[in-house]
């Protein structure tokens, strides 16, 4: 039986410690391809959230029914169904967003973050824990795409969410909204995350050493 | 996961049921969203037609049949973007021009556009790019740069439209976007090709208005 604290931990681990993009390096294709503006990053994050939370809910509810030999096939059917629903709904309700994201909505089906969470978590945990896990991972993914999109839009277009920031004197760094800008921004963000992790591990170790000395004393 | 080994019947039935449920869900969502998606497409086309033909209030789809322009009937198969054009009428039912869809290769992918043509004055009166994947920040100025788009608001088409750099001096010239010459050339080339295909077939005298302009706007 999982406690409240454990559920909370499943939720927050995706935000920072196990962030799908910056730590696990999953779902990099959409993270690079659609983040040339903040709004596109956010829309992609929302579509992925719908698919991931929906799939985790269904897979964790059915985890005792699906025979393990056909589990991957079953997961793929579930995920593909949610992706097609998301694709059609976006076309019907937000055609402008769908036009911007183009083929990348359909490509959510091959986002390894989603299948990864089904295989690693939802297929062996309760519905409640799986929902927390999927929610946290989705939020972490959306935040990552939003921050990449915001940085690239600010530098590459001089605006944020389409609102002009610097006036006519700013010369946009066009490369930031082109593919190389995606790689540059992602690379720098990964370096920041790696640095923070290394520092935390060092702090952890030192704290651990002190603890040991106290134990010895 | 089920720990004990599942038999073949169990595996088959699991996948069968999963496939069936998935199919059921997808067909339902498709049926619900399809009318809305079709309406969105039509509204986008409609908005584009009225945008490139300033003053237009209703439209009528026309297609070439036996070398003659005839209205597309309700029962006809969709003639497709390449073989249909749209006549635009003002409030009084007077035809003010034609909206001509055209497409061709751009820098990265096909550019689809629509432009308004006034046969009386033999001029292009408006342009709208419907679909393109030109480079963000450079080639996509064919949509976003109003200075470029305004080249097409009063443009002579004879003998043909030409691209120039550093300022237009003639009214059949289009000022290229700096940094996006290929995209600029592509747009003009698409228009010239469509002109060669359509202009001589367009009637210049105002044809009688469609029977019911209101109904015409419902057609796609």
Task: Kindly report, residue by residue over B188-200, the tens digit of the pLDDT.
Answer: 999 998 888 888 8
Query: Which is more confident, B31 or B81?
Result: B31
Residue B133's contacts (CB-CB under 8 Å, 6 or more residues apart) are A102, B106, B108, B109
DSSP designation for B65: E
Residues of chain B positioned with their CB less than 8 A from the CB of A124: 1
- pLDDT band at B64, cuts 50/70/90? confident
A63–B contact, CB cutoff 8 A = yes
Which one has a higher pLDDT value, A99 or B187? B187
Query: A88 at the B interface (CB within 8 A)?
Result: yes
Minimal CA separation from B23 to chain A, in Å: 8
The partner residue sitting opposite B11, judged by closest CB among A67, A85, A174, is A67
Tell me the pLDDT of chain A (217 aa) as tens digits.
457 788 888 888 888 888 888 888 898 988 998 898 899 999 999 999 999 999 999 999 999 989 988 999 999 999 999 999 999 999 999 888 888 887 889 889 999 999 999 999 999 999 999 999 999 999 999 999 999 999 999 998 888 988 888 888 888 888 888 889 999 999 999 999 889 888 988 888 877 766 555 554 4
Min distance B173 CA to chain A CA atoms (Å): 28
Residue A2's pLDDT is what? 54
**Hey, is the C-beta of B40 within 8 angstroms of any chain A C-beta?**
yes
Buried b (16+ CB within 10 A) or exposed e, B50-84: bebbeebbbbbbbbeeeeebebbeeeeeeeeeeeb
Q: Which pLDDT score, from 0 to 100, does residue A18 have? A: 85
Quickly state the pLDDT bin for B76 (edges 50, 70, 90). Answer: low
Maximum separation of any 2 CA atoms in chain A, in Å = 69
B202 dihedral zone (left: phi>0; alpha: psi -120 to 50; beta): beta
Cα–Cα distance for residue pair B201/A111, rounded to 1 Å: 50
- Are residues B37 and A177, on separate chains, in Cβ contact within 8 Å? no
Mean pLDDT of chain B: 81
pLDDT category at B212 given cuts 50, 70, 90 is very low
Whole-angstrom CA distances from B192 to A198, B47, B124, B161 are: 61, 23, 11, 7
Quote the number of domains for chain A: 1
Contacts of A66 in chain B (CB under 8 A): 1-2, 14
| A:154-173 residues touching chain B, CB 8 A cutoff | 156-157, 172
Whole-angstrom Cα distance, residue A201 to residue B165? 59
List the structure tokens of B142.
């064919």
pLDDT digits (tens, 9 = 90+) for B102-139: 889 988 888 988 999 988 888 899 999 888 888 777 88
Pairing type for strands A159-160 and B162-164 reads: unpaired
Provide mean pLDDT across the span B52-76: 75
> Who among B1, B26, B41 is closest to A71 (CB)?
B1
Range of the domain at A40: 4-216
- Tell which residue, B38, B13, B98, B97, has the closest CA to residue B63: B98
Residue of B26, B131, B162, B32 whose CA lies nearest to A103 = B131
- Is 80 exceeded by the pLDDT of residue B78? no
Interface of A with B in 96-135 (CB under 8 A): 99, 102, 123-124
B16 near A CB under 8 A: no
pTM, full prediction: 0.78
Name the residue of chain A whose CA is nearest to B19's CA: A77
Q: Do A67 and B25 touch (CB under 8 A)?
A: no
Beta carbons within 8 Å of B106's beta carbon, 6+ residues apart:
B132, B133, B134, B139, B182, B183, B186, B187
Check CB contact under 8 Å for B22 and A81.
yes
Q: What integer pLDDT is reported at residue B36 of this predicted model?
A: 93
**pLDDT the model gives residue A61:** 93
Q: Residue B17 pLDDT more than 90? A: yes
Among A66, A84, A174, the residue with its CB nearest the CB of B26 is A84
Cβ of B28 under 8 Å from any chain A Cβ?
Answer: no
Complete DSSP assignment for chain A: ---HHHHHHHHHHTTTTT-TTTTS--SHHHHHHSTTSHHHHHHHHHHHHHHHHHHHHHHHHTTTTS-GGGHHHHHHHHHHHHHHHHHHHHHHH-HHHHHHHGGGTGGGGG-HHHHHHHHHTGGGS-HHHHHHHHHHHHHHHHHHHHHHHHHHHHHHHSEETTEE-S-TT----GGGGSHHHHHHHHHHHHHHHHHHHHHHHHHHHHHHHHHHHHHH-
Which residue(s) pair with B85 in the sheet?
A: B62
DSSP for residue B114 = E
């Amino acid at each position: 039986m999982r406690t409240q604290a454990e559920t909370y931990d499943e939720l927050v681990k995706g935000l920072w410690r196990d962030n799908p993009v910056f730590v696990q390096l999953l779902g990099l294709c959409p993270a690079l391809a659609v983040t040339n503006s903040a709004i596109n990053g956010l829309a992609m994050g929302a579509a992925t959230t719908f698919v991931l939370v929906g799939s985790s809910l269904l897979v964790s509810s059915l985890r005792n029914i699906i025979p393990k030999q056909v589990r991957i096939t079953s997961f793929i059917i579930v995920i593909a169904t949610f992706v097609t629903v998301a694709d059609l709904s976006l076309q019907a309700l937000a055609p402008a967003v769908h036009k911007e994201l183009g083929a990348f909505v359909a490509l959510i089906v091959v986002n390894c973050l989603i299948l990864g969470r089904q295989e690693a978590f939802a297929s062996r945990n309760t519905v409640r824990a799986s929902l927390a896990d999927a929610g946290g991972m989705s939020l972490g993914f959306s935040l990552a795409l939003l921050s990449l999109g915001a940085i690239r839009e600010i530098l590459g277009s001089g605006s944020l969410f389409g609102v002009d920031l610097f006036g006519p004197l700013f010369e946009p760094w066009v490369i930031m909204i082109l593919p190389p800008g995606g790689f540059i921004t992602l690379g720098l963000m990964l370096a920041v995350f790696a640095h923070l992790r290394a520092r935390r591990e060092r702090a952890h170790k030192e704290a651990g050493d002190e603890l040991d000395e106290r134990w010895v004393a | 996961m089920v720990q004990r080994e599942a038999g073949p019947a169990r595996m088959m039935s699991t996948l069968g049921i999963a496939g069936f449920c998935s199919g059921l869900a997808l067909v339902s969502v498709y049926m619900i969203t399809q009318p809305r998606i079709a309406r969105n497409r039509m509204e986008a086309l409609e908005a584009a037609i009225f945008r490139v033909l300033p003053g237009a209030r209703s439209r009528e789809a026309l297609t070439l049949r036996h070398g003659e322009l005839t209205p597309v009937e309700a029962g006809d198969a969709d003639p497709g973007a390449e073989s249909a054009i749209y006549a635009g009428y003002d409030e009084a039912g007077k035809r003010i021009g034609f909206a001509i869809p055209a497409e061709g290769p751009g820098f990265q992918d096909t550019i689809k556009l629509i432009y308004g043509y006034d046969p009386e004055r033999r001029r292009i009166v408006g342009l709208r790019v419907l679909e393109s994947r030109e480079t963000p920040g450079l080639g996509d100025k064919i949509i976003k740069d109003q200075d470029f788009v305004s080249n097409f608001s009063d443009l002579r088409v004879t003998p043909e439209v030409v691209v120039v750099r550093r300022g237009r001096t003639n009214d059949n010239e289009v000022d290229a976007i700096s940094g996006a010459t290929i995209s600029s050339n592509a747009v003009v080339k698409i228009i010239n090709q469509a002109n060669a295909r359509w202009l001589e077939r367009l009637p210049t005298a105002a044809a009688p208005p469609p029977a019911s302009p209101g109904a015409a706007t419902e057609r796609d």
